[in-house]
């Protein structure tokens, strides 16, 4: 009989850490991931473990739905560079592909996870989700039957005419983007926030009967793939401790999905690859009081955009190198510093100049002056690790409309704009 464990996330554990432990198990040689939704927030947190799994010759097959704006362009780009086989699943009707199955196989045993967890940071770590984990002994007929049902489902997905599409190159994903089947994450966020603001909440304004949140944290991305094993702790004391740790939401910009956008205009540097980041910002709209950018509760002035990257704007002697994920590739060595001497202009600078593990410079991904007159969106995945998306300046008003705070990237009203989500 299968050995079954249940994770009720985040009360007695999380699925994300458990999946990482499975990927780090040298016994498994096949990973099948079948999910309705995928976002870069989840994919990039699994990326080191997936890369290690693949590097030792193991096989990764991923099947992902594209309904309800649940899967992003960026996630598909990242997955295409990690998977041996990547399929998108969709029907041209109101049928939603909504499966969530994670399967790890070797000759004599396998693990099957079935539940509600999508391939997103929320789905794998912070949302309230439930899943059943079955550890199968494939020498047993009853256990083999369970694995055969998973194998049969995968065959149905791939063999039924028109149900799935194999992604063979980035152009396939670009075609899905152009046809409106997927969107960039910032665009989806803009649409959802615009819709949310149109919904009246008058009936709930006076009475809010629910707690703000249950404490749940995202894991740091560890060097050299070091992660703790994550079988859930189901003891009553542990669950009660998690429940008692519920905390209010004060709009602090930390954790999953935190993003900032910058209007670039001309950029600086010979390659137009340097983004100026002010020490302080003049607020245009919104209130930064309950964000990490607040300056003594001021509603007219806030810390500059460099704060988002973990730098104290006042500590001008410091500098850091960050990793930028762009189009599914990690580029390390993008420097943030406060120039002095002849090159000083009284502001922090982000030098977008990183290199991939193959020695490719991020600038090789762009045409010359490509970053000029754009909007750059940075989303924090981990300390010193961000993914970047690029939009035309013509989208500026959409970004302004849905931002929590909009400010000038400087101390005067002629400066470029930035926004906090």
CATH number, residue 85: 3.30.870.10
Report whether 73 contacts 328 (CB < 8 A).
Answer: no
Return the pLDDT at 211.
Answer: 66
Return the pLDDT at 340.
Answer: 85
Range 353-359 contact pairs with CB under 8 angstroms and sequence separation of 24 or more: 353/273, 354/321, 354/322, 354/323, 354/324, 355/331, 356/329, 356/330, 356/331, 356/332, 357/330, 357/332
Return the pLDDT at 83.
Answer: 98
Return the pLDDT at 163.
Answer: 96
Q: What is the reported pTM? A: 0.86
Give the end of a domain, one of 174, 197, 220: 197
Rg (CA), the chain: 23
- Both 8 and 80 in one domain: the answer is yes
Q: Of 261, 262, 276, give the one whose Cα is nearest residue 351.
A: 276
Return the pLDDT at 252.
Answer: 40
Return the pLDDT at 116.
Answer: 98
DSSP code, position 281: E
Round to whole Å and give the CA distance between 335 and 384. 10
Which helix or strand (DSSP H or E) is residue 117 part of? Answer: none
- Both 275 and 129 in one domain: the answer is no
Q: What are phi and psi of 107, to 5 degrees?
A: -60, -45
Return the pLDDT at 257.
Answer: 53
Round to whole Å and give the CA distance between 280 and 415. 12
Give the end of a domain, one of 148, 163, 197: 197
- Both 265 and 193 in one domain: the answer is no
Return the pLDDT at 341.
Answer: 78
- Both 308 and 403 in one domain: the answer is yes
- Both 181 and 111 in one domain: the answer is yes
- Both 187 and 307 in one domain: the answer is no
- Quote the domain boundaries for residue 404: 259-420
Asked whether residue 110 is assigned to any structural domain, the reply reads: yes
Question: pLDDT truncated to tens, each residue of the chain (421 aa)?
Answer: 558 999 999 999 999 999 999 999 999 999 999 999 999 999 999 999 999 999 999 999 999 999 999 999 999 999 999 999 999 999 999 899 999 999 999 999 999 999 999 999 999 999 999 999 999 999 999 999 999 999 999 999 999 999 999 999 999 999 999 999 999 999 999 998 888 777 655 555 556 666 667 778 787 775 554 554 445 554 444 444 444 444 333 334 333 358 999 999 999 888 999 999 999 999 999 999 989 999 998 999 999 999 999 999 999 999 999 999 999 999 999 999 998 877 677 899 999 999 999 999 999 999 889 999 999 999 999 999 999 999 999 999 999 999 999 999 988 899 999 999 8
Asked whether residue 230 is assigned to any structural domain, the reply reads: no
Return the pLDDT at 222.
Answer: 57
């Amino acid at each position: 009989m299968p050995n079954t464990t249940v994770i009720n996330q985040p009360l007695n554990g999380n699925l994300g850490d458990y999946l990482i432990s499975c990927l780090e198990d040298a016994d498994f040689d096949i990973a099948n991931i079948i999910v309705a939704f995928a976002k870069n927030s989840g994919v990039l947190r699994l990326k080191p473990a997936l890369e290690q799994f693949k590097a030792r010759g193991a096989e990764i097959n991923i099947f992902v739905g594209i309904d309800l704006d649940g899967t992003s362009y960026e996630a598909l780009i990242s997955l295409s560079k990690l998977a041996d086989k990547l399929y998108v699943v969709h029907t041209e009707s109101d049928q939603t592909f909504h499966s969530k199955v994670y399967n790890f196989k070797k000759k004599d045993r396998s693990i099957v996870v079935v539940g509600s967890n999508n391939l997103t940071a929320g789905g794998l770590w912070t949302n309230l989700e439930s899943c059943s984990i079955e550890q199968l002994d494939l020498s047993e007929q009853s256990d083999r039957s369970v694995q055969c049902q998973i194998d049969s489902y995968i065959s149905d997905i791939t063999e039924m005419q028109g149900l799935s599409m194999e992604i063979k190159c980035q152009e396939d994903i670009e075609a899905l983007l152009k046809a409106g089947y997927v969107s960039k994450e910032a665009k989806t966020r803009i649409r959802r926030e615009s819709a949310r603001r149109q919904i009246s909440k008058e009936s709930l304004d006076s009475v809010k009967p629910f707690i703000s949140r249950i404490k749940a944290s995202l894991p740091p991305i560890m060097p050299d793939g070091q992660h703790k094993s994550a079988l859930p702790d189901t003891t009553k004391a542990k669950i009660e401790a998690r429940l008692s740790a519920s905390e209010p939401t004060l709009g602090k910009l930390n954790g999953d999905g935190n993003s900032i956008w910058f209007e670039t205009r001309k950029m600086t540097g010979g390659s137009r690859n340097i983004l100026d980041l002010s020490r302080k910002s003049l607020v245009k709209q919104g209130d930064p009081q309950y964000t990490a950018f607040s300056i003594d509760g001021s509603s007219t002035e806030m810390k500059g955009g460099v704060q988002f990257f973990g730098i104290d704007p006042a500590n001008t002697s410091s500098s850091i190198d960050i990793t930028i994920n762009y189009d599914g590739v990690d580029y390390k060595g993008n420097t943030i510093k406060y120039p002095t001497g002849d090159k000083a202009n009284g502001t922090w600078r982000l030098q977008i100049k990183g290199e991939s593990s193959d020695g490719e410079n991020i600038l090789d991904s762009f045409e010359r002056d490509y970053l000029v007159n754009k909007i750059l969106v940075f989303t924090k995945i981990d300390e010193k690790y961000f993914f970047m998306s690029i939009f035309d300046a013509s989208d500026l008003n959409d970004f302004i409309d849905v931002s929590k705070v909009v400010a000038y990237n400087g101390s005067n009203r002629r400066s470029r704009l930035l926004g906090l989500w």
